[in-house]
Amino acid sequence: MSPVYNIPDKDDIEAEASAWIVQVDSGAMSKGDIEDLKEWISRSPQHKHSFQKMASGFLEIGTLLQQADTSQTVKKTKPKAIFFSAPVMLSLAATVVAGFFLLSGQGPEQPGRAVEPAVQYIANLGEQRDVTLPDGSSVTLNTSSKIDVSFTETKRSVNLVYGEALFDVAKDVNRPFVVHANQGAVRAVGTVFSVRSTRSDVSVLVEEGIVELIAPPAGGQSNVATRSEDMVVLARLSTGEEANFDGVTKSIKSVELTDITNRHAWKNGMLIFDGNSLSDVVDEITRYTDMKIVLSDPEMQDLQIGGTFKVGETDAFLDAMTLGFNLDVQRVSGNTVYLSQQN
Residue 128 and residue 200 share a domain: yes
Residue 300 and residue 231 share a domain: no
The answer to which of 77-81, 232-236, 288-292, 313-317 has the lowest mean pLDDT is 77-81
Does any domain span residue 1?
no
What confidence category does residue 202 fall into, taking pLDDT thresholds of 50, 70 and 90? Answer: very high
Does any domain span residue 137?
yes
Residue 276's domain is classified under what CATH number?
A: 3.55.50.30
Q: Are strands 210-215 and 184-188 parallel, antiparallel or unpaired?
A: antiparallel
Q: Is the pLDDT of residue 88 over 90?
A: no
Across the chain, mean pLDDT equals 77
The answer to which of 1-15, 31-45, 80-94 has the lowest mean pLDDT is 80-94
Does any domain span residue 2?
no
What mean pLDDT comes out for the span 229-239?
88
Higher pLDDT, 250 or 211: 211
What mean pLDDT comes out for the span 311-337?
89
What mean pLDDT comes out for the span 193-219?
90
Residue 138 and residue 26 share a domain: no
SS3 308: strand
The predicted pLDDT at position 224 comes to 57
Residue that terminates a domain, selected from 80, 109, 138: 109
Residue 94 and residue 17 share a domain: yes
The total domain count for the chain is 3
Does any domain span residue 195?
yes
Does any domain span residue 301?
yes
The answer to which of 49-58, 136-145, 151-160, 185-194 has the lowest mean pLDDT is 49-58
Residue 84 and residue 21 share a domain: yes
Residue 286 and residue 241 share a domain: no
What mean pLDDT comes out for the span 115-120?
68
Neighbouring residues of 187: CB distance < 8 A, sequence distance ≥ 6: 176, 177, 178, 211, 212, 214, 228, 231
Does any domain span residue 304?
yes
pTM of the model: 0.65
Does any domain span residue 256?
yes
171-201 pLDDT per residue, tens: 998 899 999 998 889 999 889 999 999 888 8
What mean pLDDT comes out for the span 266-284?
93
Higher pLDDT, 68 or 203: 203
Higher pLDDT, 165 or 75: 165
Beta-carbon neighbour count of residue 206 at 10 Å? Answer: 23
Supply the range of the domain harboring residue 20. 8-109
18-56 pLDDT per residue, tens: 777 666 655 556 667 777 777 777 777 676 767 766 665
Residue 198 and residue 82 share a domain: no
Residue 211 and residue 327 share a domain: no
Q: Is the pLDDT of residue 76 over 60?
A: no
Does any domain span residue 3?
no
